[in-house]
Every structure is written in structure tokens, then in C-alpha cells.
Structure 1
């Protein structure tokens, strides 16, 4: 089977990743991941839940009433330049809703427990959960970064169910062995861990055993 990356290289187009941002706290994780993917030369397909837009407003001060403008401001006009594609949550006919859409995979970062539950139960009630369902049925990488505490049994059972299906569960649990000094250091660690699972090289955090520079 020809990978999406090889197919993109053969056609002279960038490889594509789908990113979902939900209403869990920690919107900066998803935004930082998007910036890293754009910097690495990937074409980004982004879908944000309504609750995700609320969190972007509350945590990062985004103007949720001017969504396209806010995205262009956050990503250096990547949307207008055609380096990323934004899909409204209710556009169930979008490209990423189809298994025929080729991409490297999908990351939901951060992932709310409601979205996690919908994905685990196969309830494709919006474009974000449908896109995740497509990854599962097509056997493509799906990575989920849940952010909630404390966790009850239903949360844990849903994560276990997805893990058994091959979904990468990367809880937003930053480490401190790398000596973080700023909030950015903590965010970059989590984004770096996600990118490790995506197979993308980066220099976002100092690895264990790596000498100080």
C-alpha cells in the first residue's frame, strides 16, 4: 500500500495531517501542534468543536465571532495562503469525512471526555468525530490527547477501548526531568511527545540523557 506521504511526494503536494481541537482545557496544546506541523511543511486540516472555540476565547483571548480572521492571525495567514484547510464542525460532507481522503493520520489535542466517549462508541455526530471514525475504519493513525482530572471509570474504560483498537492515548501529563522553566517548556514537551508518536522529528524538549547545551 502506498503511504499518504509517498503519494503526496509523487504528486508534489505536502503530506496532510488532520487536527481536532475540542472543549477540554489546554487549547494551547493544539495550537502549538498546528504551528509545528505547518513549520514542518505539512498541509493541515483543522476542525474545532464549538466548545473548543469557547476555550480558545477563554484561554487564549481569540475572537470566536471572527473565526477565519482568528485562524489567519494565529497561523501567519496559512489559511489564506492555502497551507491549511479549516473545516466547520457541521460540514459532514467535508473531505476529511471520507475514507477516500488520503492523509497521514489525525490528532485530537486536547480531547474532551465527551469527544473521547463519542469516538469510543462510534457516534459520528459531527465532522470531528466522523473524521476520527474514518481513521479507525481505514486503519490510519489516530492519536488522542485527553485532558481531564480526576478520571472516573467511564473515562478510563473509553481510553482502554480505544487503546485496544490501536489508538495512541497520550494524556496531557508533562514530565519535569527536562527542567522546564516556562509554561512554553511544559506545552512543548507535550506537543513533542505527540509528534514523537506521529513520527515527526522535532527539537521541542530535551530528551532523557541528552547533554545540556
Structure 2
């Protein structure tokens, strides 16, 4: 899903590792359904809320949820505002230079284009994507004109109001958008991006990473992770 670069100054703010006795703060965006969202009660919900709660239970950790805007989600992890990122974040080499990742909890989710016209020009036109995502990086390198927005819903609005010819985002996000709006359609071919979605952690938190890696693996082994993926329709199965 995403692609952020941090400055040396931001890296200098790395906080100490979380210990087993601490409350582990789970950082998410809360704006990317079905991965993460804010429900009718004002609480974090979605696939990653259910997954994160189960991982914390299996790892015997006390966890609480924190929301943060996408464009500063990595810097605020590094500076210690929370202890993990669980926000539909694709594992990329660039991010891995700044933070660490658990093993992926979903395979790569294909990215798709959505537009209002089947004949839209995806390589020479204007394509919207969320700021700091792997989709934005792809569009920037494709020859199309990239327009970026901080919130996923704004990328779709740009297509509806004619500011962009198409939007590129995760299939699991845009499928729901298309299902709810008959004026929009999937166009072009799916694009394979990223190395799957994992939890982001500070590089110093090796013990916490090991706990979550083990919990993710246990859910893969007993089939419960595939059950959650099917329930929320976020990805292909393991």
C-alpha cells in the first residue's frame, strides 16, 4: 500500500523497545476500509482491528489502539507515539531501511484502476493515489500525471469531480467503492505491487517483533488467518 521516506532527524527520535509489561500501542489509520476504519461507536474497527486483537491475545500482550494520519504514520512510530503500525502497510525495501516488519499477514493485494469511463488513458492521463503509497510511486513512474491526496476517499472524489481520470488503490478498498457507486468501474489490468502486508515496528523492538511473528505464524498454521481474510475480503488466501 504505502511508501514513506524519513529524514535523519526523525530517525534520531527512536524510542526504547517495548517490554512485555508495557501496554503495546497499536497504531492504525482508521480510514481504509475494510482494512481499518472508525465504526459507528467511534472505535477502531475492520480486519486489522480483529486481527490485531487476536495477535495480542496469542502473544499475551495488553494492547490499545491509536489512530494517526497516514502521511506521518512512520515518523510517529519512530518517535514513540505508538509501538506498531497495523494499517494495511505493504512491506517494501525502502520502508525496511527505516523500520522493521513482521512476516506478512496477508499476501500482496492487487492494485486496480477505477474510473468513470472505460476508455480512460491510464498511461498518459491524470491518475489519483493516496499520498505516500506504493500506488502513488507506481503512477509517478508510469508516465501518467499523478495527483495525490492524504485520505483515500479523496482520491475517489477526484475521479467523480473530474480532477482525475482514474484512481489506483488496493483492490480490496476500491471493490467496495465500485459496488456502492454504479457510475464507477474497474478499468485496465490489475497491478501487482509490494511484498505483502505486515506490522511495522521500530528496529530496536526485536522482542516485540518476535512475539508478533510467532502469533501471525500460529494463525497461519491453524487456518484462522485465512478465515479472517475471507471474512473481510482483503486479500487472496495463504
TM-score when normalising by structure 2: 0.28
Select the structure that is richer in strand. 2
Q: Which is greater in Rg?
A: 2
Give the TM-score normalised by the residue count of structure 1.
0.31
